[in-house]
């Protein structure tokens, strides 16, 4: 078969990785002469699989709506933050997602809670899981809009099917009776099926009181806290530290 018609067919089939690898092999045939047909074909197929997986990962990252370019490689393990490296390495393996466990991250504003959560979300996307980030206050706004337009069930189903749901700023704003019930439904749908990451400035012992109704608070926290990994970050605001460092450099 002539090479140009073959390339056209690969392009039509959208086998871009195969096409790229073939183009790399074409100028130096002597380098591949000792390879069997199966071995050479295997290299082309491996490239196509890698390109397709990278494409799927990019789609998952876009759908996740992560707000920061947070990656596991850039995590800051300074001791002052109380971010245990062994625990993070365990979480980055993804086994907690397989086990349908949750991750609860607390600490004062600016210490990097969201960055850690989104780095875990980024890693989950790389591992092939669907991820979605929502901010706690805006989640309820979305639920109220969905309720008023008859799309509440659709939204709840969408939240329920995410492999990893990241809820940032948990319990930062007042929780109404309707919000409590919605939160319970979301967590009930995910309990022992999928994983949830929570970030909050509110210490975990205060969550029960912030939720309000004791019965629903018990039910909500039972589904969140039982068997969850917990991270309690410390230290000064990293944003404040960066501003101070920039000011020193400028001066």
pLDDT of residue 58: 92
Give dist(CA 27, CA 30) in Å, integer: 9
pLDDT of residue 79: 58
Give the architecture (CATH level 2) of 67-240. Answer: 3-Layer(aba) Sandwich (3.40)
pLDDT of residue 249: 41
Instruction: Please report which residue ranges of 76-213 form alpha helices under DSSP H.
Output: 85-92, 95-98, 113-126, 136-148, 152-160, 177-190, 207-211
Phi, psi (rounded to 5 degrees) for 29: -60, -30
Per residue of the chain (251 residues), give pLDDT as tens: 567 787 777 777 777 887 887 777 777 777 777 788 788 788 888 888 888 888 899 999 999 999 988 888 888 776 567 788 899 999 999 999 999 999 999 999 988 899 999 999 999 999 999 999 999 989 999 999 999 999 999 999 999 999 999 999 998 887 888 899 999 999 999 999 999 999 999 999 999 999 988 999 999 999 999 999 999 998 776 655 444 443 444 44
Q: From residue 144, how far is each of 140, 150, 153 by CA, in Å?
A: 6, 10, 12
pLDDT of residue 240: 55
Give dist(CA 57, CA 63) in Å, integer: 10
pTM for this entry: 0.82
Give dist(CA 22, CA 234) in Å, integer: 52
pLDDT of residue 239: 55
Q: From residue 25, how far is each of 5, 47, 90, 144, 171 by CA, in Å?
A: 17, 12, 40, 57, 57
Name the residue ranges covered by the structural domains of the chain: 3-63, 67-240
Q: Do 104 and 229 touch, CB atoms closer than 8 A?
A: yes
pLDDT of residue 46: 84
Give dist(CA 117, CA 106) in Å, integer: 11
Give Cβ neighbours of residue 187 (< 8 Å, ≥ 6 apart): 196, 220, 223, 224
Q: For the packed helices 113-126 and 85-92, what is the interaxial angle rounded to 10 degrees?
A: 30
């Amino acid at each position: 078969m002539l090479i140009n018609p073959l390339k056209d067919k690969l392009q039509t089939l959208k086998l871009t990785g195969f096409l790229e690898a073939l183009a790399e092999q074409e100028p130096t045939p002597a380098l591949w002469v000792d390879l069997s047909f199966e071995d050479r074909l295997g290299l082309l197929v491996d490239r196509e699989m890698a390109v397709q997986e990278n494409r799927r990962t990019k789609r998952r990252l876009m759908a996740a709506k992560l707000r920061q370019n947070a990656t596991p490689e850039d995590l800051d393990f300074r001791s002052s933050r109380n971010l245990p490296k062994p625990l993070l390495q365990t979480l980055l393996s993804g086994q907690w997602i397989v086990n349908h466990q949750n991750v609860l991250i607390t600490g004062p504003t600016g210490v990097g809670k969201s960055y850690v959560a989104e780095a875990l979300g980024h890693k989950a996307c790389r591992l092939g899981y669907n991820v979605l980030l929502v901010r706690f206050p805006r989640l309820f706004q979305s639920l109220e809009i969905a309720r008023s337009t008859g799309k509440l069930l659709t939204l709840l189903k969408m939240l329920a099917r995410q492999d990893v749901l990241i809820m940032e700023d948990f319990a930062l704003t007042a929780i109404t009776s309707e919000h409590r019930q919605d939160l319970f439904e979301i967590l009930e749908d995910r309990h022992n099926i999928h994983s949830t990451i929570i970030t909050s400035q509110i210490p975990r012992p205060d969550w029960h009181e912030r939720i309000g109704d004791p019965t629903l608070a018990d039910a909500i926290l039972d589904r969140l806290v039982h068997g969850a990994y917990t991270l309690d970050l410390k230290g000064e605001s990293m944003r404040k530290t960066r501003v101070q460092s920039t000011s020193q450099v400028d001066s």
